[in-house]
């Protein structure tokens, strides 16, 4: 048990170190002067402020110290939770800006992933039952997974938001409101949340349905299914076993798909100008605010690693095979 | 993206009670291929879009980004897909965009395929410490969210081209292919004929290319198709964020400018529907084609 | 008479036509009889075993009848077969090692199956424990997952599970091929014990390993290319076979007590005929040293001495 978890932790830790290193290397080894190119875009009218920023960023990059010192001080800053100071929203710390956006992204991501997983698995299991259903659900599923997230988002925004005019298509809540704990504000939050959520949910649905369908068909061909059939067990029992067993690889699939769905969330947010990390990334890019960009990158990587680890633990707990092996049952 | 295609199970070539020769098998595969609607429809759509992407641009005189016509025209006889807010011809952009979409798919998918299969074969065949290290590398790249890594890397590039984009996409999207190939190679590497080759002192890469790879060729083809589709989607995402090829044309860039210039609020549906539809059709047909291939190659999935 | 199979024909559907895997098979199986079913791979012995309990999707019942204890067995009708399965006809599959659901505790899987077949698990729990002990398993295997058991243990669990409802006919399909020699012996002995204790009335033991079947079976039936060539008491088949194919098969054995590898027999030149368009007449005639004109007609399976049947013009 601990060996397995230790191994996983090691990989995640290694990934983290590599991500941090990439993050540190990119601005230093890419052609061009990052500070200048960053500040050239910064819309600062006041020359005094520009001077201050220039000083600050040159200091942060520590470009005059040896590389290994730069690297170490980068890590040291990281452990203090210091991701630098934003250019576009100078002098706000990057961490604060990111933390403001994270709840919106999570609010989209978590329900979209979980619900599409649950519903997709159901649909996939259903598709594996009948030829006719399979021949319709399967192509639809593939077309859904082939859709670029932002395109479905555009289609939904256009059809439900603009043409039918039933739901708002931009921002996290109505610009005329201020964040407060009131029914008005919360309902505004929900109505703005719905379309981006729906669009992510639909795209992700296809993949899960297909995965489940394939896994179930595989399980229905497994030896234990054949054995039960030969002994006259009803289809109901065999399907129940197949469904349960097919769920397990789908849990691992959750970890594998995480990156894709997350990317989808970022793209969807941009379409809806939803104030999460995706929109933040776009703003950072447009303003060449590399501190925000890189801070977001690290933040996302850490989030993905944590989510992966949680899924690993859940898998160990759910699959009796690994559970038994790990608690050291008799063999 | 690993769960997407019908994972081709351990395909037992000789399912029937009689022996099958290679020649027979080929004709059998063909027999099923021409009767598989998924394969035919998928292949048909992909090929027609590919032909359009290859030859279409020859019939378009102007540069696709040029301002040629009246602004914001809905589709009409002269501008089949209408024009943008600047008077660019959407049809011209679409046709050129198809071309670059196939290009990035082939290129990004190709790079990922080469890395993924190499890592997978070597890990699966060599085993031991080599496998351990490659496996760890695969896992590391696998958990890094590809698009986010790509955003950070390409953000610093002053000039971006299709070539660089393809290389970077390839570098970040190979891991699941490596995993899949590894597990297949692992099971093949223990077969008798591979042992024989090894005993006779053949070099590793010779054994891999002559003994192992041909035995999973269908599997490799399907992996490549998936990587191809995946690259297209990732590239579209990058383009949409504004990190596409500088001054290029692509379906993703069309979506970006449609979004950037508020086609949504101006009701210019002809601006954003064609590029997304093009991507969906290409990638969707590739996936369906893949299922068809799986059914053709894998006797267990064939219907009688 | 427990089992009576009459002119059974089961074909495999393939692209290029039907493979005549079982082409007119007729035999009887008496109460208490353990019959070894032997032959080269592809001779139809596994097809026969499957036909008696469940046809797979590519198999088609073309003709002939099967009777068990005087009642018709509708082998071509999957639905009508269900009541017979497990209760009357049961199976120990070739893949016994992987026949158990990997994510369910063994006891729970058995209970699920029993309940699904209309038996209250509580009514049979004591018997289950007794039988597990009989095959040398601790009863706490019921609380284990299959992964916690060795291959031999899983095999024994499947043996007990398959025979729990005292079926009239048990089909054991290559059950020993995955085991080491000493475990093979133990499994074979347990199966004989099951018959002696009347857990099962009769058994068809499909194997390519004649020397093993000789030790446990009462009779041996030899098949070749979809036909039965000879059926006789085990010792007769080994010591005094009459059909030329059986004779060559037995002489090809290194010596009784060792096992042969599955596949082609080195001792007999040539290969079995393809069953897509099988030759008329005796199917062994191409390889048979005694073949003559008449062999172009199919030789009937006739009783050449009490309890000894052979299908050859030369022995008739």
* B94 interface with A at CB cutoff 8 Å: no
- pLDDT above 50 for B16: no
Q: Which of residues 141-160 of B touch A (CB under 8 A)?
A: 142-149, 151-153, 155-158
Question: Which residues span the domain enclosing C172?
Answer: 3-88+168-176+201-257+266-310
Sign of CA dihedral B241, B247, B248, B249: positive
Q: What is the pLDDT of residue B125?
A: 81
For residue C187, is it within any domain? no
The residue whose two tokens read 């919360």 is: A186
User: What are the distances in angstroms from CA B249 to CA B61, B99, B110, B245?
Assistant: 15, 9, 21, 8
Q: Which residue has the higher pLDDT, B239 or A65?
A: B239
C297 neighbors C305 (Cβ within 8 angstroms): no
Would C107 be classed as within a structural domain? no
C68 domain-assigned: yes
Please report the residues numbered 230 through 269 in chain B whose beta carbons come closer than 8 angstroms to any beta carbon of chain A. Answer: 233-234, 236-237, 240-243, 252, 255, 258-259, 264-265, 267, 269
**Would you place residue B3 in the very low, low, confident or very high pLDDT band (cuts 50, 70, 90)?**
very low
Q: What percent of chain C has pLDDT over 90?
A: 43
Which positions in chain A touch B286 (Cβ < 8 Å)? 146
Pick from A57-71, A282-296, C116-130, C146-160: least confident? A57-71
* pLDDT at residue C270 in the model: 72
A128 vs B: CB within 8 A = no
Contact between A79 and A20 under an 8 Å Cβ cutoff? The reply is no
Contact across the interface for B28 and C19, Cβ inside 8 Å: no
Is the Cβ of C262 closer than 8 Å to some Cβ of chain B? no
Residue C148 lies in a domain: no
pLDDT tens-digit series, residues C286-306: 888 888 888 888 898 888 888
Averaged pLDDT score across all residues of chain C: 87
- Contact list, C113 vs chain A (CB under 8 Å): 228, 231, 233, 237
To the nearest whole Å, the CA of B194 is away from the closest chain A CA by: 28
Q: Does residue C10 sit within a domain? A: yes
Mind listing the domains of chain B with CATH numbers?
45-60+88-301 (1.10.3720.10)
Q: What percent of chain B has pLDDT over 70?
A: 90
Stretch B126-138: mean pLDDT: 87
Residue C97 lies in a domain: no
Name the residue with higher pLDDT: C96 or C199.
Answer: C199
pLDDT of residue B247: 77
Sheet-wide strand order for C17-29 = C17-29, C3-14, C59-68, C71-72
pLDDT, position C257: 45
What is the tally of structural domains in chain C?
1
Separation of alpha carbons B18 and B16, rounded Å: 5
> Given a cut of 80, is residue B77 above it in pLDDT?
no
pLDDT per residue over A174-214, tens digit each? Answer: 877 777 778 888 888 898 899 999 999 999 998 899 889 88
Each residue's pLDDT tens digit, C162-190: 999 999 999 998 887 777 778 888 888 89
Question: Using one digit for the tens of pLDDT, what is the confidence trace for B139-193?
Answer: 888 888 888 888 888 887 777 788 888 999 999 999 989 988 888 888 777 777 7
Question: If contacts are CB pairs under 8 Å, which of residues 242-261 in chain A contact chain B?
Answer: 250, 253, 255-260
DSSP symbol at C296: G
Question: Which of B17, B28, B304 has its CB closest to that of C42?
Answer: B17
> What CATH number has the domain bearing residue C62?
3.40.50.300
Q: Which residue has the higher pLDDT, C26 or A162?
A: C26
- By Cβ distance, the residue of B17, B28, B31 closest to C19 is B17
C15·B31 Cβ contact <8 A: yes
What is the pLDDT at residue C95? Answer: 87
- Residue, of C27 and C175, whose pLDDT is higher: C27
* Rounded Cα–Cα distance for residues B262 and B274 (Å): 16
Phi-psi sector, B83: left (phi>0), alpha (psi -120 to 50), beta: beta
Using CA coordinates, name the residue in chain B closest to A288. B155
More confident residue, B207 or C187: C187
pLDDT at site A287: 82
Q: What is the ipTM of this complex?
A: 0.89
Give the span between the Cα atoms of A108 and A286, in whole angstroms: 23
Distance between CA atoms of B212 and A261, rounded to whole angstroms?
Answer: 34
Residue C128 CB contacts under 8 Å (≥ 6 apart), including other chains = C110, C142, C160, C164
Interface test with B, best of A16, A124, A154 (most B CBs within 10 A): A154
DSSP characters over C157-174 = HHHHHHHTT--SEEEEES
Q: Which of A263, A280, A288, A312 to mutate to test the interface with B (most CBs of B within 10 A)?
A: A263
- At A3 the pLDDT is 77
> Cβ C148–A320 below 8 Å, yes or no?
no
Query: How long a stretch of residues is chain C?
Result: 316
Q: Give SS3 for A85.
A: strand
Instruction: Indicate if the pLDDT at residue A8 is higher than 90.
Output: no
Confidence grade of residue A137 (pLDDT, cut at 50, 70, 90): confident
Residues 19-78 of B with CB under 8 A from C: 28, 31
- Among residues 8-67 of chain B, which lie with CB inside 8 Å of chain A? 9, 38
Concatenating the DSSP letter of every residue in chain B gives -TTSS-------S--SSS---HHHHHHHHHHHHTT-HHHHHHHHHHHHHHHHHHHGGGG--S-TTS--S-TTPPS-SSSTT-B-TT--BHHHHHHHHHHHHHHHHHHHHHHHHHHHHHHHHHHHHH-HHHHHHHHHHHHHHHHS-HHHHHHHHHHT-SS--HHHHHHHHHHHS-HHHHHHHHHHHHHHTTSHHHHHHHHTT--HHHHIIIIIGGGGHHHHHHHHHHHHHHHHHHHHHHIIIIIS-TT---HHHHHHHHHHTTHHHHT-HHHHHHHHHHHHHHHHHHHHHHHHHHHHH-GGG---
B241/A26 Cα distance (integer angstroms): 19
Confidence of residue B6 (pLDDT cuts 50, 70, 90): very low
Q: In what order do the strands lie in the sheet with C34-38?
A: C89-92, C169-173, C202-206, C34-38, C219-224, C227-233, C308-310, C302-305
**Residue C244 domain-assigned (yes or no):** yes
In this complex, the chains that touch A, judged by 3 or more CB pairs closer than 8 A, are B, C
Average pLDDT of span B40-62: 89
Q: Is C98 a domain residue?
A: no
* Cβ pairs bridging A and C (under 8 Å): 80
A50, containing H or E segment: helix A47-61
- Chain C adjacent subunits, 3+ CB pairs under 8 A: A, B
Contact criterion met (CB < 8 Å) for A224 and C53: no
CA distance C164 to chain B (A): 32
Q: What number of other Cβ atoms are within 10 A of residue B144's Cβ?
A: 22
Contact A260 B267 (CB under 8 A): no
- The tens digit of pLDDT for each residue in C232-276 reads 999 999 888 889 888 888 887 765 444 444 444 456 677 777 788
pTM value? Answer: 0.84
> Which residues are bridge partners to C91 per DSSP?
C171
Please report the pLDDT score of residue B14 as a whole number. 34
Task: Taking residues C208-214, report their average pLDDT.
Answer: 82
Contact criterion met (CB below 8 Å) for A279 and A101: yes
Q: How confident is the model at residue A37 (pLDDT cuts 50, 70, 90)?
A: low
Please, what is the end-to-end C-alpha distance for chain A in angstroms? Answer: 16
Q: What is the pLDDT of residue A325?
A: 65
Pairing of strands C59-68, C71-72: antiparallel
> B16, C12: Cβ pair inside 8 Å?
yes
**Which positions in chain A touch B292 (Cβ < 8 Å)?**
none
Name the average pLDDT for chain A: 84
Contacts of C116 in chain A (CB under 8 A): 233-234, 236-237
Cβ contact, residue pair C113, A223, below 8 Å? no
Q: Kindly determine whether residue C276 and residue B18, on different chains, have CB atoms separated by under 8 Å.
A: yes
On the question of pLDDT at C90 being above 90, the answer is: yes
């Amino acid at each position: 048990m601990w060996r397995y978890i230790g191994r996983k932790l090691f990989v995640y830790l290694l990934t983290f170190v590599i991500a941090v290193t990439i993050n540190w290397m990119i601005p230093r080894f890419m052609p061009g002067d990052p500070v200048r190119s960053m500040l050239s875009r910064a819309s600062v009218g006041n020359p005094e402020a520009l001077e201050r920023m220039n000083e600050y960023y040159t200091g942060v990059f520590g470009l005059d110290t040896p590389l290994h010192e730069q690297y170490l001080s980068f890590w040291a800053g990281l452990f203090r939770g210091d991701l630098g100071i934003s250019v576009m929203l100078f002098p706000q710390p990057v961490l604060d800006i990111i933390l403001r956006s994270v709840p919106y992204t999570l609010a989209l991501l978590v329900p979209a992933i979980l619900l599409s997983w649950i519903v997709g698995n159901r649909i996939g299991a259903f598709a594996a039952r009948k030829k006719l259903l399979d021949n319709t659900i399967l192509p639809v599923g593939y077309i859904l997974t082939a859709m670029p997230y932002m395109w479905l988002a555009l289609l939904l925004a256009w059809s439900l938001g603009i043409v039918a005019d039933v739901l708002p298509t931009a921002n996290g809540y109505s610009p005329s409101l201020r964040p407060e704990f009131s029914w008005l504000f919360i309902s505004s939050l929900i109505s703005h949340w719905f379309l981006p959520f729906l669009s992510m949910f639909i795209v992700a649905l296809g993949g899960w349905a297909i995965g489940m369908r394939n896994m179930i068909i595989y399980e229905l061909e497994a030896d234990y299914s054949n054995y039960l059939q030969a002994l006259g067990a009803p289809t109901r029992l065999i399907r129940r076993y197949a469904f349960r067993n097919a769920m397990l690889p789908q849990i691992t699939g959750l970890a594998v798909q995480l990156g894709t769905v997350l990317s989808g969330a970022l793209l969807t947010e941009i379409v809806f100008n939803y104030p999460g990390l995706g929109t933040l990334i776009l703003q950072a890019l447009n303003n060449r605010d590399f501190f925000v960009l890189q801070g977001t990158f690290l933040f996302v990587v850490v989030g993905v690693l944590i989510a992966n680890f949680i899924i690993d633990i859940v898998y160990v707990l759910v699959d009796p095979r690994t559970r038994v092996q790990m608690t050291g049952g008799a063999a | 993206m690993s769960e997407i295609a019908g994972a081709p199970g351990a395909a037992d070539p000789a399912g029937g009670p009689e022996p099958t020769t290679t020649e027979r098998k080929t004709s059998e595969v063909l027999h099923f291929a021409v009767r598989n609607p998924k394969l035919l429809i998928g292949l048909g759509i992909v090929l027609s879009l590919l032909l359009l992407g290859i030859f279409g641009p020859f019939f378009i005189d102007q540069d696709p980004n040029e301002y040629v016509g009246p602004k914001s025209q809905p589709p009409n006889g002269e501008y089949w897909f209408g024009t943008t807010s600047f008077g660019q011809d959407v049809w011209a952009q679409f046709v050129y965009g198809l071309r670059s979409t196939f290009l990035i798919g082939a290129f990004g998918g190709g790079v990922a395929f080469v890395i993924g299969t190499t890592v997978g074969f070597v890990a699966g065949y060599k085993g031991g410490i080599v496998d351990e290290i490659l496996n760890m590398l695969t896992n590391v790249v696998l958990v890094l969210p590809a698009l986010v890594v790509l955003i950070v890397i390409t953000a610093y590039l002053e000039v971006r081209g299709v070539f660089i984009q393809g290389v970077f996409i390839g570098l970040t999207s190979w891991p699941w292919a490596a995993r899949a190939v590894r597990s297949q190679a692992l099971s093949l590497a223990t077969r008798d004929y591979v042992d024989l080759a090894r005993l006779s002192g053949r070099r590793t890469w010779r054994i891999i290319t002559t003994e192992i790879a041909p035995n999973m060729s269908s599997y490799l083809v399907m992996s490549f198709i998936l990587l191809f589709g995946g690259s297209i989607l990732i590239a579209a995402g990058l383009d949409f964020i504004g990190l596409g090829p500088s001054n290029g044309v692509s379906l993703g860039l069309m979506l970006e400018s449609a979004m950037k210039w508020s086609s949504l609020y101006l009701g210019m549906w002809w601006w954003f529907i064609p590029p997304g539809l093009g991507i969906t059709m290409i990638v969707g047909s590739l996936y369906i084609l893949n299922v068809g291939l799986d059914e053709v190659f894998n006797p267990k999935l064939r219907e009688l | 008479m427990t089992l009576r199979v009459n002119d059974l024909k089961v074909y495999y559907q393939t692209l290029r036509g039907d493979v005549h895997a079982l082409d007119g098979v007729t035999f009887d199986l008496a109460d208490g009889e353990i019959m070894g079913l032997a032959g080269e791979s592809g001779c139809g012995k596994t097809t026969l075993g499957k036909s008696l309990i469940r046809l797979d999707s590519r198999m088609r019942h073309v003709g002939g009848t099967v009777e068990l204890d005087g009642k018709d067995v509708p082998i071509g009708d999957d639905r009508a077969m269900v009541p017979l399965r497990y209760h009357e006809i049961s199976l120990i599959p070739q893949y016994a090692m992987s026949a158990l659901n990997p994510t369910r505790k063994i006891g729970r899987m058995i209970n699920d199956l029993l309940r699904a077949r209309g038996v209250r698990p509580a009514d049979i729990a004591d018997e289950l424990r007794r039988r597990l002990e009989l095959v040398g398993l601790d009863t706490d295997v019921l609380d284990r997952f299959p992964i916690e058991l060795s291959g031999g243990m899983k095999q024994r669990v499947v043996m007990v599970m398959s025979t729990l409802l005292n079926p009239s006919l048990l089909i054991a399909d290559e059950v020993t091929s995955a085991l080491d020699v000493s475990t093979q012996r133990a499994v074979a002995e347990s199966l004989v014990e099951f018959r002696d204790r009347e857990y099962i009335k009769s058994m068809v033991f499909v194997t390519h390993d004649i020397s093993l079947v000789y030790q446990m079976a009462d009779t041996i039936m030899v098949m070749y290319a979809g036909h039965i060539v000879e059926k006789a008491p085990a010792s007769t088949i080994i010591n005094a076979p009459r059909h030329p194919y059986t004779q060559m098969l037995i002489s090809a054995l290194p010596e009784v007590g060792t096992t042969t590898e599955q596949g082609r027999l080195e001792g007999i030149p040539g290969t079995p005929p393809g069953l897509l368009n099988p030759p008329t007449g005796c199917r062994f005639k191409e390889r048979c040293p005694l073949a003559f004109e008449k062999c172009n007609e199919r030789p009937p399976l006739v009783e050449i001495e009490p309890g000894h049947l052979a299908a050859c013009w030369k022995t008739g």
